Amino acid sequence: MTENIKPPPDDYKIRCPRLGHPIFFSYCRSENMGIPCYKILDCWFEHFPVAEYLRETLTPEEWERAFQGERKTKVMSLLELIEQAKKR
């Protein structure tokens, strides 16, 4: 990394608009099956240079999966979870 950008420590939390409660950066960094939440850039940009940090730490493929792919709506995500639960 050019500036040695470090993410906030886990004792620093911000409110997650998706979950509705405080959350730490390391959760957001890997909550989406090991890749960052698609809202991580929107949520953390005021707290540290999150885009630069992620550009330095993610592979191009991970960046693409996290931020360039199709977004699922909340309803679609819930329907998928229901289907998974039915299969169990």
What stretches of the chain adopt beta strand conformation (E)? 13-15, 22-24
Residue 1 scores a pLDDT above 50: no
The total domain count for the chain is 1
Residue 10 scores a pLDDT above 50: yes
Residue numbers of the domain that contains 63: 13-87
Q: For 33-52, what is each residue's pLDDT tens digit?
A: 889 998 999 999 999 999 99
Mean pLDDT of 59-81: 83
Q: Mean of the per-residue pLDDT values for the chain?
A: 89
How far apart CA 61 and CA 84 sit, in angstroms, is 26
Q: Is 8 among the domain residues?
A: no
Q: Is 27 among the domain residues?
A: yes
What's the pLDDT at 33?
A: 82
As a residue count, the chain comes to: 88
Full-model pTM: 0.72
Q: Is 2 among the domain residues?
A: no
**Sign (positive or negative) of CA dihedral 50, 52, 53, 55:** positive
